[in-house]
Amino acid sequence: MSAPVPSVSPFPGPAAFHFGAVVLAAGASTRMGRPKQLLPVGGRTLIRRTVDTVLASAAWPVAVVLGAHAASIRPEFARLPVLAVDNPEWAEGLASSIRAGMRVLESFSLSLDAAVLVLADQPHLSADAIHRLAEAHLRTGQSIVAAHYAGHAGPPALFARRHFAELLALSGPEGARPLFARRAGDLAAVPLPELATDLDTPADYDAFLALPATTP
């Protein structure tokens, strides 16, 4: 599925800055006991809210990687201008979904300057948070920019094109976290404490629903 690429970059400069996004939504949600991607959050499912948020940012194209519950999750964004990616190796962990998403992102657009990796279980993700990652990359020149919360760097994280080969070579359950340590000199962090909230267990979800406002 495709849609028109914005004609004006929100990051003007000597050359327009263009970045895509990979939404990682292939997990089995074993600790939740049901697909957390389908949890109701502010009148939408969590995956629909995440995809809507990424589409509201400057990221283009947007790839959504599915795996364990693909058949039930795909209808949530079937009419949206995103690239649905099936990851048959989802059981390996996040790295396999990163590889699958990056392959599609690169094949769809050969001119990307960077890519942002996004988890599907952070209900306070905002388009502004993604914008701040891109802005920090342009301001600092650092080739990796990650959100910082709960005392560490984590997703969402932006990776400049020079790191695409490394993303495609990842393996195991940790996703891109090993790159943060291996490329510490290239890493900038953006304080985004609200992103410490993720929904992994029924207790996480109950605590989130108990907050005064559950729709950022």
What predicted TM-score, i.e. pTM, was given to this entire model? 0.90
Q: What would the CATH number be for the domain defined by 19-209? A: 3.90.550.10
Q: What is the pLDDT along the chain (216 residues), one digit of tens a residue?
A: 434 344 344 554 435 899 999 999 999 999 999 999 999 999 999 999 999 999 999 999 999 999 999 999 999 999 999 999 999 999 999 999 999 999 999 888 788 999 999 999 999 999 999 999 999 999 999 999 999 999 999 999 999 999 999 999 999 888 899 999 999 999 999 999 999 999 999 999 999 999 886 444
DSSP letters of the chain?
---PPPSS-SS-SSS---EEEEEEE----TTTTS-GGG-EETTEEHHHHHHHHHHTSS--SEEEEE-TTHHHHGGGGTTSS-EEEE-TTGGG-HHHHHHHHHHHHHHH-TT-SEEEEEES--TT--HHHHHHHHHHHHHH--SEEEEEETTEEEEEEEEEGGGHHHHHT--STTTTHHHHHHTGGGEEEEE-GGGG----SHHHHHHHHTSS-S--
